[in-house]
């Protein structure tokens, strides 16, 4: 019964706080004991770090939903450090009445082995060998970024350190990071190079904390000669990760190790990033990549076709380039669709066939996903309140109502967690979002005119995708 309650809590927490929070913090916690007399839930965390983090950030969430699940108005939560479990759990057990306490087995003991083998393995650099400077098509939109990337391969750690490359998705930032790693490795095979996405860095850090491998994590990153971090903006709003990365950066920088970052925006514009980290990201050379001009897009298509041993006529290359205005990935995708269709249907690659394939693709274009920004733009057109208003602490009646409508639509149309919605709208608590949804649901029942108004707003959001 008690174990079932904990599983129910995990499902509720995933809905409100998001799957990342549940997977990172709650799934490593076990419900150890329930004392019905003192109305106390005892939870065991694997170590002090997890215990302290949950105590600081999620106690209210635990009290709210465990209280509901146990049908107790005022419930107590006691978190135990699993690394000191033997002494602590014995004290708990001795003080409980066993006739009413429900014990839930917790498999916390680590297997003991008489022999511990230490194997020193060569760490993987995660470099994609297909990304080279030779197959990177240069144009006015990326010439400075490419030149800087090539320059640091001559004397890693001494020139342009760190190098920060920013621009929209799909414009070649990742290609340049891998090209730097490949070029340096070709010049000196003894150099230790590591490419890592910021998202993987976050997950690796969290796992290191959870499984007591923080020393191994630190050694892995501190011993590299070249560190390439892609999409650094993904460490935003992750305080513990930023703290770890701040110290790691200092160690590498002071040791004259080369560091290269990519991001979708300028360092100072990355929201949710500590100021001291922003200043370090921008202390070297910062350069950007823009959307390529038509001639550069044609050159990219010709180069891609050449690498695939395909002959791409100029008129077809220009037509594809003029049809795709977003990014290089979609440009290459359009080329693949056209050449694959010609090959699979045994037809010659002509401008007429190209037009038919790309027109058909447009007609069957997948429905775009609604995101928070789409909703905020439509709310602004409807009610004349922009994102800064919605994020503000102002609580006048009209603004509060519009903010509640925004939260309601965000949950309904995106399916994102309550926590994500609250964070986006000024760092509000998930319970605020719950309250907003309850208010709007009640208003919809009472006011049919508002129901129609809300339906029109939803339709406008979809129409403007």
Phi-psi region of 322 (alpha: psi -120 to 50; beta: other; left: phi over 0): alpha
Please report which confidence band the pLDDT of residue 252 belongs to, taking 50, 70 and 90 as the band edges: very high
Question: Cα–Cα distance between 418 and 246 in angstroms, integer?
Answer: 29
Q: Token pair for residue 338?
A: 């056209």
CATH classification of the domain holding 341: 1.10.8.60
**Residue located via tokens 């070249």:** 226
Residue 66 clears pLDDT 50, i.e. is over it:
yes
User: What percent of the chain has a predicted confidence (pLDDT) above 90?
Assistant: 30
Residue 115 within a domain: no
Judge if pTM exceeds 0.85.
no
> Which tens digit of pLDDT belongs to each residue from 193-203?
999 999 899 98
**According to the model, what pLDDT value does residue 369 have?**
66
Domain extent at residue 92: 2-103
What three-state secondary structure class fits 199? helix
What three-state secondary structure class fits 436? helix
- Please report the DSSP string for 215-259 in residue order: HHHHHHHHT-SEEEEE-GGGGTT-HHHHHHHHHHHHHHHHTT-EE
Please report which confidence band the pLDDT of residue 68 belongs to, taking 50, 70 and 90 as the band edges: confident
Residue 124 within a domain: no
**According to the model, what pLDDT value does residue 84 have?**
64
Q: Last residue of some domain: 309, 338, 363?
A: 363
Residue 110 within a domain: no
Question: Cα–Cα distance between 39 and 92 in angstroms, integer?
Answer: 14
Based on the domain organization, do 190 and 242 belong to the same domain?
A: yes
**According to the model, what pLDDT value does residue 17 have?**
75
Angstrom distances, CA of residue 199 to CA of 113, 193, 229, 260, 422: 34, 18, 10, 16, 21
> Which tens digit of pLDDT belongs to each residue from 98-136?
433 333 333 333 333 333 333 333 347 889 998 999 999
Question: Cα–Cα distance between 194 and 196 in angstroms, integer?
Answer: 6
CB 461 within 8 A of CB 374: yes
CATH classification of the domain holding 91: 3.30.300.180
Residue 114 within a domain: no
Q: Last residue of some domain: 309, 335, 363?
A: 363
CATH classification of the domain holding 187: 3.40.50.300
Based on the domain organization, do 284 and 301 belong to the same domain?
A: no
* Widest Cα–Cα separation across the chain: 84
Residue 94 within a domain: yes
Average pLDDT of the residues in 231-248: 89
Based on the domain organization, do 183 and 233 belong to the same domain?
A: yes
**According to the model, what pLDDT value does residue 357 have?**
86
Based on the domain organization, do 258 and 379 belong to the same domain?
A: no
Based on the domain organization, do 203 and 257 belong to the same domain?
A: yes
CATH classification of the domain holding 452: 1.10.1750.10
> Which tens digit of pLDDT belongs to each residue from 339-394?
888 888 889 999 999 888 887 655 444 445 678 988 999 998 888 888 988 999 88
**According to the model, what pLDDT value does residue 98 have?**
40
Of 35, 32, 45, the closest CA to residue 72 belongs to 35
């Amino acid at each position: 019964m008690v174990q079932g309650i904990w599983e129910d809590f995990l499902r509720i927490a995933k809905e409100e706080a998001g799957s990342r929070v549940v997977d990172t913090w709650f799934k490593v916690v076990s419900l150890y004991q329930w004392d019905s007399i003192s109305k106390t839930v005892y939870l065991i965390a694997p170590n002090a770090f997890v215990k302290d983090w949950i105590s600081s950030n999620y106690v209210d969430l635990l009290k709210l939903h465990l209280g509901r699940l146990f049908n107790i108005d005022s419930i107590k939560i006691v978190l135990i450090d699993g690394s000191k479990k033997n002494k602590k759990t014995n004290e708990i057990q001795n003080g409980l009445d066993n006739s009413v306490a429900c014990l839930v087995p917790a498999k916390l003991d680590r297997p003991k082995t008489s022999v511990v083998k230490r194997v020193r393995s060569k760490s993987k650099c995660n470099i994609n060998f297909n990304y080279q400077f030779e197959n990177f098509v240069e144009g006015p939109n990326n010439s400075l970024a490419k030149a800087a990337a090539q320059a640091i391969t001559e004397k890693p750690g001494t020139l342009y350190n760190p190098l920060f490359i920013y621009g929209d998705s799909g414009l070649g930032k990742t290609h340049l990071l891998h090209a730097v790693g490949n070029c340096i490795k070709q010049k000196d095979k003894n150099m230790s190079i590591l490419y890592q996405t910021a998202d993987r860095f976050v997950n690796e850090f969290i796992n290191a904390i959870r499984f007591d491998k923080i020393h191994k994590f630190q050694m892995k990153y501190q011993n590299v000669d070249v560190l390439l971090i892609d999409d650094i903006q993904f460490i935003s709003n992750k305080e513990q990760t930023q703290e770890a990365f701040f110290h790691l950066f200092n160690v590498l920088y002071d040791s004259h190790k080369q560091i290269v970052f990519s991001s979708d925006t300028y360092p100072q514009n990355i929201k949710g990033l500590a100021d001291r980290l922003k200043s370090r990201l921008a202390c070297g050379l910062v350069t950007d990549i823009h959307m390529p001009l038509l001639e550069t897009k044609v050159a990219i298509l010709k180069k891609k076709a050449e690498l695939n041993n395909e002959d791409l006529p100029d008129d077809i290359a220009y037509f594809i380039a003029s049809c795709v205005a977003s990014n290089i990935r979609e440009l290459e995708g359009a080329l693949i669709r056209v050449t694959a269709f010609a090959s699979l249907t045994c037809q010659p690659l002509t401008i007429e066939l190209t037009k038919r394939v790309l027109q058909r693709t447009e007609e069957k274009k997948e429905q775009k996903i609604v995101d928070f920004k789409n909703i905020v733009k439509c709310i602004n057109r409807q009610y004349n309140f922009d994102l800064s208003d919605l994020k503000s602490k102002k609580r006048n009646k009209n603004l509060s109502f519009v903010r509640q409508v925004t939260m309601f639509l965000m949950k309904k149309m995106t399916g994102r967690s309550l926590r994500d919605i609250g964070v986006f709208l000024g760092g509000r608590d998930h319970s605020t979002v719950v309250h907003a949804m309850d208010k709007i649901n009640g208003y919809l029942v009472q006011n049919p005119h508002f129901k129609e108004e809300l339906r029109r707003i939803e339709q406008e959001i979809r129409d403007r995708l």
